[in-house]
Structure 1
């Protein structure tokens, strides 16, 4: 289901690294396990400056190109190198179907040691890109497992999804056919795209399609929420991303000291 769309991208803002003060706050949050088990939904910032904020999580097996797709979307560049253990978050403002949107994107790592936090971002994310590589059949099979995890965490919800088969430019290495991707997307009940992060093919489309999926499930279906109640200063979504950053900062520091 490859769909062309025209959407004017307005501006780019990549999240800066945590300040020392933010890291200290995050450390306190990470040390208090009960904070993550607290009752209540992830009531987050729904609008900023009158623009609807969409919390998007990018999932998939390691090496499928999740970060490359994300970075192509937010910075229009293909990374020469990306540390596969690093999780990061980005903001991208765009106009989708004539309506401004601010995409708050969490690019996740697939390492096993971080599965304990997976339920948290699956609860707090509003929509999910499930990615696999068309050159890796195992990653295609893992896409189904990610779908099952989302269903487990949010069993009673119709969660917005988009299925993404990346690296379709590597024709001679293809292991998963387009028809198989379409079939899985039908099983998920979601849009499907094959992308090339290298050539930026259908990269904008996957993110914009997910915003449309989120909007379609909202009251009014226009995605505009200008009179939302102001959130707490540090929401669960903010704390979750901060904790990820703190964990990786400590890992990097430990690596420097051991070398």
Structure 2
């Protein structure tokens, strides 16, 4: 099992190198299909980069969601820089614990190209010491729980509170994701319960399945980008807390020094 997971991840790592020059394109068509012949701009240096982190208890499907989103899909209208390369989608139907995996991808969201820098994190308690580090660096969070395990929802609530503590904020860009909705016979957390918890936390909510055919996988990542866009950046918040508006700061930088004339 571990070898198969490594194979999937190595394919992704190969077509999605650490450098921001990326291979595959993902477009937002409102569904999980990717149907566009558009390419990202040649110069991606000016594209906004969104540092997103996938968090949740162990075994809730964080890696399956992430890999499903980033995997190269075998659609006729899906184009690559290396157009002759095609890969079949794969679903991880077994549990292979993750320590930390990073994926970087060009994506088109609402007609605008962005770069998604996504960190798939460990959910096991033995890796809890690493959490605060990636919470400090994350700009938005997919907070995942499994509808087949009530404990994972309780853990999601704890993780959200930890994000707020680490960020020293009363709210932050987080999307609560109810995963594994394909396992209807094993479901113990109803949609009403999930939405109630999300409402209490003042979080948006979405239900997903990473199993083929995937449900709301693309929608979850795209929605998180929209949420991040709607929040002020950490830099803006810091300036506002110091009583300085971002516009005023920029204006000061542009101010031209006047010459001094001695009469």
TM-score range, shorter chain: 0.5 to 0.7
- Is 1:101 matched up with 2:97? no
Distance (whole Å) between structure 1 residues aligned to residue 48 and residue 170 of structure 2: 21
In structure 2, list runs of 5 or more residues that go unmatched: 1-10, 15-42, 74-88, 234-263
Distance (whole Å) between structure 1 residues aligned to residue 125 and residue 63 of structure 2: 17
- 2:144 is paired with a residue of what secondary structure? strand
TM-score (norm 1): 0.64
- 1:145 is paired with a residue of what secondary structure? helix
| Equivalent residue pairs, number | 179
1:205 aligns with 219
1:53 aligns with 49
- Note the aligned Cα RMSD (angstroms): 2.3
1:225 aligns with none
Q: 1:80-130 deviations in whole A, cap 9, x for unaligned?
A: 556214421101211111111111000001122322221111011000000
Distance (whole Å) between structure 1 residues aligned to residue 232 and residue 111 of structure 2: 17
Which is bigger in relative contact order (C-alpha 8 A, separation at least 6)? 1
- Mapped contact 2:139–2:173 kept (Cα < 8 A): yes
TM-score (norm 2): 0.63
- 2:48 is paired with a residue of what secondary structure? strand
Distance (whole Å) between structure 2 residues aligned to residue 196 and residue 85 of structure 1: 19
Q: Which moved more, 1:173-182 or 1:47-56?
A: 47-56
Distance (whole Å) between structure 2 residues aligned to residue 211 and residue 111 of structure 1: 26
Runs of 4+ in 1 over 3 A off after TM superposition: 13-16
Structural mapping, 1:1-259, within 5 Å: 14-15=12-13, 48-75=44-71, 76=73, 77=89, 78-81=91-94, 83-156=96-169, 158-198=171-211, 199-218=213-232
1:10 aligns with none
